[in-house]
Amino acid sequence: MLLKNIILSGLIFVCLVMFAGISFADGADSNVTVNNQPPGLPAPSLSENPVNLVPSGTKTIWCYATASDPNGGADITSASAVFWANTTTMGDPDNGANHYTVASCSLGTASGNDRPVNCSVNLQYYANNTGWTCNITVQDSGALTASNWQPFNINPSIALSLGSPLIEFGSVMPGSTSGTQNEVIANRGNDPMDVQVSGTNMVKPPSPPIPVNKIDWSLDPGMSGKSALSGSPYTITTFDLVEATDGGPSTKSIYWAVNVPTGTPFGTYTGTITITAQSS
């Protein structure tokens, strides 16, 4: 019995201690400083490479990448880009032939640590046909930056426009030669060019035609060194019309005259003269 009482007393003592214990609670402030980390940027991609320009117009291309930031994609707040031909440098001034700056690129919706970046540029039709570079720079809210680049190429573009859709020789007596008319040719591509010329007979059915070889052309306003037009294309290899600049397209004239044969019936005769751009 004595041993049993001791055991019971011990159990009672433990229970009393458990119920009679006093509990205390308190709190402490905490803080941590998260350091700003620089963003990262992989090499961008191009929407088109090589690039085929639009004659007489502009061609929009996109240089794009997905930037990342250890502080979250939303921490990337701005992006810019520079496009330049390899004949210049990244820091050169802008012009339509070889250098473009995009001050503000489009930022997509952040997802986790990532944020898409898309930089578009409108390339002029005379942008140099050579190697180019696109460089994108992104910046975060703490002004830390990351840059990366991608090379690309612009293809040669050969195109022209005519100053007038009609060469008007006017009224000419049979057996006489018309006054000299000029057709202004503008280079609408990004490469020096020559031209090919050909034509058709001038006709007014049922009268006999004025043969195509009665039409003369020359690069001289006085018709010096003139040549007879042919139905087969002939390349004027000395035309050498350079590409355009920011100041506008380069131009050069071809001069024309027609010899009306004796005995040609009166009336209005029409034909076609074809002028085609050729790589110089």
What tens digit of pLDDT does each residue of 188-219 get? Answer: 999 999 999 999 999 999 999 999 999 999 99
Q: What is the three-class DSSP state of 5?
A: helix
List domains and CATH numbers for the chain: 45-153 (2.60.40), 160-279 (2.60.40)
Question: 220, 238 in Cβ contact below 8 A?
Answer: no
Output Rg (C-alpha) for the chain, integer angstroms.
39
Q: With 60 as the cut, is the pLDDT of residue 20 above it? A: no
Neighbour order of strands in the sheet with 193-199: 234-241, 193-199, 273-279
E strands present in 93-144: 99-102, 106-107, 114-124, 131-140
Express as a percent the part of the chain with pLDDT over 90: 85
Q: For residue 57, what are the contacts with CB-CB under 8 A and spacing of at least 6? A: 125
The string of pLDDT tens digits covering residues 148-183 is 999 999 999 999 999 999 999 999 999 999 999 999
The string of pLDDT tens digits covering residues 56-66 is 999 999 999 99
Tokens of 203: 């006709």
pLDDT of residue 18: 41
Question: 79, 105 in Cβ contact below 8 A?
Answer: yes
Q: For residue 67, with 0-12 CB atoms within 10 Å meaning exposed, 13-18 middle and 19 or more buried, which class applies?
A: buried
Question: 267, 207 in Cβ contact below 8 A?
Answer: yes
Backbone angles phi, psi at 7, to 5 degrees: -65, -40
